[in-house]
Amino acid sequence: MLLGHWIAGEMMVDPNLQPVLSGVAQLRDMTTVEEKTMSASLEHPARDRSRYVTSGSLLARNTVWNLVGQIAPMVAGLLVIPKLIHGLGTDRFGALSIAWMVVGYFSLFDLGLGRALTSLVAFKLGKEEHDDLPDVVWTANALMLLLGICGLLAFFAAAPALVHRFLKIPVHLQPEILTSFRILSLSIPFVISTAGFRGVLEAKQQFRTINAVRIPLGTLMFLGPLAVLQFSRSLVPSVAVLTIIRALFCGVYLLVIVRFMPELRPRVRFRTGLVGKLLTFGGWMTVTNLIGPVMINMDRFLVGALVSLAAVSYYATPYEIVTKLSIVPFALATVLFPAFSFSSTMDDQGNLAHLFDRSLTHVMLLLFLPSLLMVALANTGMRLWLGEAFASRSSFVLQLLSIGVFANGIAQVPFALVQGMGRPDLTAKLHLAELLLYVPAVWWLSSSYGIRGTALAWVLRAVVDAVLLFAAVVHVLPVSASIVRDACFRITVAIAFLVVGMYTTGPVRAAFALLTFVLFVLTSWFFVLSQNERAFLMRITKFV
């Protein structure tokens, strides 16, 4: 319920407003005083459109839909993963984890065309230039299909090297996993084309529709292999089912965009004049989109190459659990980006700094307690979920990654601000520099300390990334220097508490976690939240 409150900045709710029955309805109906004032003063159509797109109520609704669209598959994964590990075995499940990761990463292999398509379609809709929409949509999707075919051929050709030389796969499983990877390559064109179709819906603000498709798709990515497991323990049919699911949902997205944009039906045309504009639009954004997932996902490949395929399961399972904490900051960053962009175009640095400060503060508040819970209950939770043997190998990794996800989640706010102010070149350059340092670090730590070393390298990368992004914020928005300084102090204190919690045991850990929880609540209430936010929370608690 607080999402719209935080995204739009501080706002007073009319005391005469009658209580709504649901959080989503409240987010939809509440509008800030600032929005009303500015909307009335904006006379330029483009600015009116921009203000609508970044209004607190709309951003809140979209954020809620994005959260629902990610939480539902996560719940399915929590229920299904133990059964898949038991049925497939650790080696096959490790290969399946890599398959999930490959499918997810290749959705970013569109070289920024998905983002370019979203921007161009939104621009055409705002200008009411509907005649150009078919050319833009079909040209972009033709290019994305071509990229998907290139990705298919590249992964198909690389599969033997991955199986026989790069990944440490038991000899008796190599033919099965090679066949699985080759089947998996067939899904890549569908994955990339889906990103283009989804971009069209994003331009039309159809986040509810997007997530109505995303929820069953994400759920079936877990349930499909589980259903096949009833008939075969081989990885081949499981991966084949994943490929079929991707193809079907790509077709669903295509039908949906044609329904929402009937002008696409009568004319399918490739316009060469748009190719250059589409390919150059991504620019530095594309560099970031390609390098970021490499640094986030390459750890599992290196575990498979340097440790063992079974170790991928012991690493990927806690990774999949703890990284789900990122769904809130990622969902918020998605909607904060246009808000930051709007504020920067209005040349109102004071308002921009205020929006950055409150967004940063509330992301920290949202992430700390779940991170503390992960650290405190890692061993107990893993033991109850997957057994003592799994917990002994994975619980410390879960604790380490909790700290990394905390830092990485906070970094999404400065990341959105820097790009929102029109400086994606800074984030791209930072990621390039980080990649050069991260690759040798994760290689050495994984070789020397196994999956614990891998987790430590991931955490260090996340912390360094956050520090560099804060430095970039000060560069593009000098008035935020004091905000960044205070934020860095709070983050340092929070991470210190999490680290101490890792090295306590038994009753001491429980007492420490309880004490930290009490201190966190009191400090947040009296020193972090504003008077308006405390009043808003008090009203919320009356209806919980």
SS3 state at 205 = coil
What is the pLDDT, as a whole number, of residue 22? 40
- Residue 12 DSSP one-character state: P
Please enumerate in sequence order all residues whose Cβ is within 8 A of that of 150, keeping only pairs 6 or more positions apart, or say none. Answer: none
Number of H helices and number of E strands within the chain? 22, 0
pLDDT confidence of residue 469 = 94
pLDDT exceeds cutoff 70 at 415? yes
Round to the nearest angstrom and report the end-to-end CA distance of the chain. Answer: 11
Q: What is the DSSP string of 501-531?
A: HHT--HHHHHHHHHHHHHHHHHHIIIIIS-H
**Would you call 346 helix, strand, or coil by DSSP?**
coil
Least confident interval from 51-60, 395-404, 479-488: 51-60
Comparing 27-31, 426-430, 455-459, 490-494, the range with the smallest average pLDDT is 27-31
pLDDT average, residue stretch 423-434: 85
154/8 Cα distance (integer angstroms): 44
Give tens-digit pLDDT for 190-228.
988 888 888 778 777 677 888 888 888 888 888 888 888
Where is pLDDT greater, at 188 or 62?
A: 188
Distance CA 43, CA 367 (A): 39
Q: How confident is the model at residue 258 (pLDDT cuts 50, 70, 90)?
A: confident
Collapsed DSSP state (helix, strand, coil) of residue 423:
coil
Q: What is the pLDDT at residue 379?
A: 85
pLDDT above 50 (res 39):
no
- Residue in this structure with the two tokens 């808003």, named with its chain if needed: 536
Question: What is residue 266's predicted lDDT score, i.e. its pLDDT?
Answer: 66
Which segments of 299-432 are extended strands (E)? Answer: none
**Run of H or E residues at 204:** none
Q: How many Cα atoms occupy the beta-carbon half-sphere of 194 within 13 Å? A: 23
Write down the mean pLDDT value for the chain. 77
Nearby residues of 460 by Cβ (< 8 Å), 6 or more positions away? 441
Highest mean predicted confidence (pLDDT) among 14-23, 89-98, 339-348: 89-98
CB 439 within 8 A of CB 382: no
Cβ(184)–Cβ(247) below 8 Å: no
CA 119 to CA 240: how far, in whole Å?
34
